[in-house]
Amino acid sequence: MSSPSKTRPNQIYDLMRMDILSGRLVPGERLPFAELTSRYQASAGVLREVLPRLVEQGLVTSEPQLGFRVISLSETDLLELTEARVLVETAVLRQAIEHGDVAWESRLVASHHTLSRTPGSSSDGRINDEWLKTHAAFHGLLLEASPNRRLRTVAENLRSAAELYRCWSRPQGREAKRDTAEEHKSIIDAALARDTEGAVRELVNHIVRTTTLLLPGSQYDVQPTRGVVTATAETT
């Protein structure tokens, strides 16, 4: 069993990640050590371990002489992030479907069942922290069967960064315009049927949906290139 000192950074990491995604720490907000140590009852050493992990996931930025801050949101970043996710995640999904076995299918089904039974919002109307965790677990399991660990890591970091935009869209009422549960079902149904092209198509639709809701003038031309779906974004 791990000692408390070893698990403390993971606990603080989870708390800070949830605070960023839920909007309790807002985009662009500075993260001074003095305030963080008081807020999370964590030592400076723990924070020095946690903050770089959040930087790697694209949720926090680090600037020389200025310290850390929650990543700022921008149209350009969202468009670039969406294109990167389409390129990477579809490639990893293809590998996962090719290499996934029955055990992978079983874990994926169980994860989807948990996600479908977890409320998306808490009693105060904020996004449910538990839903965020189960949502991340579902997408992680979807790509888990890919044998390329580095690609899986890149995909996970890109998706984590994009989650901030999706969570930010909820208070604007834009998430209400989509059926996220049906989007997840369409992806998993195609993946379990070993319909690679169908699964890729549904995943692309899922990824770009947030972008088109946040940027109604954006248009995506999604075409297969060398077995990978690419996206070109233009704003009108």
- SS3 for 112-168 is HHHHHCCCCECCCCCECHHHHHHHHHHHHHHHCCCCCHHHHHHHHHHHHHHHHHHHH
What pLDDT shows up at residue 223?
47
Q: What is the CATH number of the domain that holds 36?
A: 1.10.10.10
What pLDDT shows up at residue 1?
38
Residues 189 and 133 placed together within one structural domain of the fold: yes
Residues 61 and 100 placed together within one structural domain of the fold: no
105 and 153 Cβ atoms separated by less than 8 Å: no
User: Which two three-digit tokens encode residue 158?
Assistant: 């890109």
pTM of the model: 0.78
User: Which two three-digit tokens encode residue 25?
Assistant: 């720490």
State percent of the chain over pLDDT 90. 57
Residues 214 and 108 placed together within one structural domain of the fold: yes
Count how many domains the chain has: 2
Mean pLDDT of 117-145: 87
Residues 93 and 118 placed together within one structural domain of the fold: yes
For residue 108, give its domain range. 75-235
What is the spatial distance between Cα 199 and Cα 205, in angstroms, rounded to a whole number?
10
Mean pLDDT of 99-117: 97
